[in-house]
Amino acid sequence: MNTLTVLVTKYLSKNNLSRNQLAQLLGYSNISKGLRNLDQYCLTLLDKNQIALKLPKVLNISKPEFKRAVLGAQLELDAKARSKFKKSLQVIPKKRSSPIFAVAMFPQILNIEIPALSGCSFDQEIKLIIQTYKDHQQIYSNGKGFRYFRTFDETLVFNDQGEIVEHINSHIEPNSVTLTIKGKTIPPTLIG
């Protein structure tokens, strides 16, 4: 259990509430849906229904204590993602494709395997990455550049000439392709 789940469990006990009662207090008439959304929020911090706003009020949790638990859960999620991180390249398409094509093909087409880079200087590493992209450019002729997910917290964005156009020092999920149809976002798990 992560820090947020532990906190919710503690306050359920303290307030003598069941999980079903908590779902009702959060505004759900469909208890199963409420419990699924609560569990999803506690485990992933994905908050579709403003659970983060309702939960502290319903369980009488102080804002600082709730924030600490959420931060702890975020740190645990980051540590898990960091341990699974692998360097990768992702082609940036020139134009948006049809939604069906995106769902079926983007994850396979737009990701390029990269060579082993251990022991390289930064300049050597960048040259190898650019060369890898150029070696695949005929296959990815619809690309206007690429993203190089260098570390968990660092992403370099290149144009199609291999020039760095952006340096991002925060985490971006390398294999997530988001698809929005009529205002609804399709989860990456259904795409890839």
Same domain, 95 and 143: yes
Looking at 52, 82, 112, the residue that finishes a domain is 82
Closest of 39, 43, 50 to residue 72, by C-alpha? 43
pLDDT tens for 105-161 read 444 456 777 877 788 898 999 999 988 888 877 766 667 888 898 888 899 999 888
Region 29-49: mean pLDDT is: 93
106 and 178 housed in the same domain: yes
Pairing of β 179-181 and β 154-159:
unpaired
Instruction: Give, for 70, the enclosing helix (H) or strand (E).
Output: helix 63-84
Q: How confident is the model at residue 170 (pLDDT cuts 50, 70, 90)?
A: confident
Helix/strand number for the chain, H first, E second = 8, 7
pLDDT score recorded for residue 132 = 86
The Cα 67–Cα 69 span in angstroms is: 5
Task: Flag whether pLDDT at 189 surpasses 50.
Answer: no
The residue among 82, 102, 137 that closes a domain is 82
Domain count, the chain: 2
Which positions ≥6 away from 191 have C-beta within 8 Å?
A: 102, 103, 106, 107, 177, 178, 179
Beta bridge partners of 147: 90, 157
When pLDDT is averaged across residues 161-177 and rounded to a whole number, the result is 73
Q: Are residues 174 and 144 in the same domain?
A: yes
Same domain for 163 and 102, yes or no, is yes
Is the pLDDT score of 36 beyond 60? Answer: yes
What pLDDT, on a 0 to 100 scale, did the predictor assign at position 81? 87
13 & 107 share domain:
no
Instruction: Give pLDDT tens digits for 64-108.
Output: 999 999 999 999 998 998 898 888 888 887 766 555 544 444 444
Kindly state the helix (H) or strand (E) to which residue 169 belongs, with its residue range: none
- Which two structure tokens, joined as six digits, stand for 177? 């392709």
Residue 176 structural domain: 85-191
Rounded Cα distance, 162 and 159, in Å: 5
Confidence of residue 49 (pLDDT cuts 50, 70, 90): confident
Q: Is the pTM of this model over 0.75?
A: no
Using the 3D structure, point to which of 43, 67, 82 is the last residue of a domain.
82
For the cut 70, the answer to whether the pLDDT of residue 40 exceeds it is yes
Q: How far is CA 105 from CA 33, 99, 102, 181, 191, in A?
A: 31, 10, 5, 16, 9
Residue from 136, 109, 112, 125 nearest 164 by CA: 125
Q: Do 90 and 173 sit in the same domain of this protein?
A: yes
Q: What is the pLDDT of residue 90?
A: 84
Q: CA angle at residue 69 from 45 to 5, to 5 degrees?
A: 65
Which residue blocks in 85-187 are alpha helix, DSSP H? 99-109, 122-135
**pLDDT on residue 114:** 81
Assess whether pLDDT exceeds 80 at residue 190: no
Residues in the chain: 192
Place of tokens 């968990």: 152
Looking at the predicted structure, is the pLDDT value of residue 185 above 70? no
Higher pLDDT, 115 or 40: 40
